[in-house]
Amino acid sequence: MSERIETNLGEYDNSWYKPGNSFKRCCWYIINSVFFKSSLFPFSKLKVLLLQLFGASAGKNILIKPCVNIKYPWFLSVGNNVWIGEKVWIDNLGKVVIGNNVCLSQESMLLSGNHDYTQTGFNLIVKEIILEDGVWIGARSVVCGGVVCRNHAVLAVNSVATRDLEPFSVYQGNPAQKVKER
């Protein structure tokens, strides 16, 4: 019988993780709260400019709806003709790359960080996420760290991508399974 691992959060140590200096993170926290997470500021062009000022790579014709939460724009790359729907959460502790003509539907989440439950200290794990051109992430769906959604893949409503999605394929469920060709 294998030994059981008990979590001890007192051992948690993410001192190795350096997402940027504290002044920059504090400034972004304020900008994100006022202009992105708020429903009172619907203007996408200024949001894109703010992302770029904080180090994001951003293409043309990006639509960012109200109540979007972006952790660290300096780890974000967004292509052309991208739609980011209401209440999308881009929890990019690591790099997130969004290609051209990608749609992130309402309340979808891109989660590049997780924790190692096999370690007593519940260590932080950070892995990049890549959404290639033409990908559609359905409402309330989740893309986990380390996942690549290949060209024109679809992740259906309320699904969870824990592994790579094949191109021109539709995935559904938790964990997401391929259900048909697109």
Q: Identify whether 19 is part of a domain.
A: no
State how far the Cα of 105 lies from the Cα of 143, in Å rounded to an integer: 12
Amino acid at 113: G
171 is a domain residue: yes
The pLDDT of residue 1: 61
Domain CATH for 140: 2.160.10.10
The answer to whether position 23 is within a domain reads no
Q: Identify the residue whose tokens are 């995935």.
A: 171
Which stretches of the chain score pLDDT less than 50?
Answer: none
Full-model pTM: 0.95
- Tell me whether residue 28 is in a domain: no
Whether 78 maps to a domain, the answer reads yes
Residue 33 domain-assigned (yes or no): no
Distances (CA, A) of 158 to 1, 29, 64, 106: 36, 28, 21, 11
Inside any domain, residue 30:
no
**Per-residue model confidence (pLDDT) at position 41:** 86
DSSP lists the bridge partners of residue 91 as 111
Residue 2 lies in a domain: no
Measure the CA angle with vertex 49, ends 48 and 52; round to 5°.
90
Tally of domains within the chain:
1
Domain interval for residue 63: 43-181
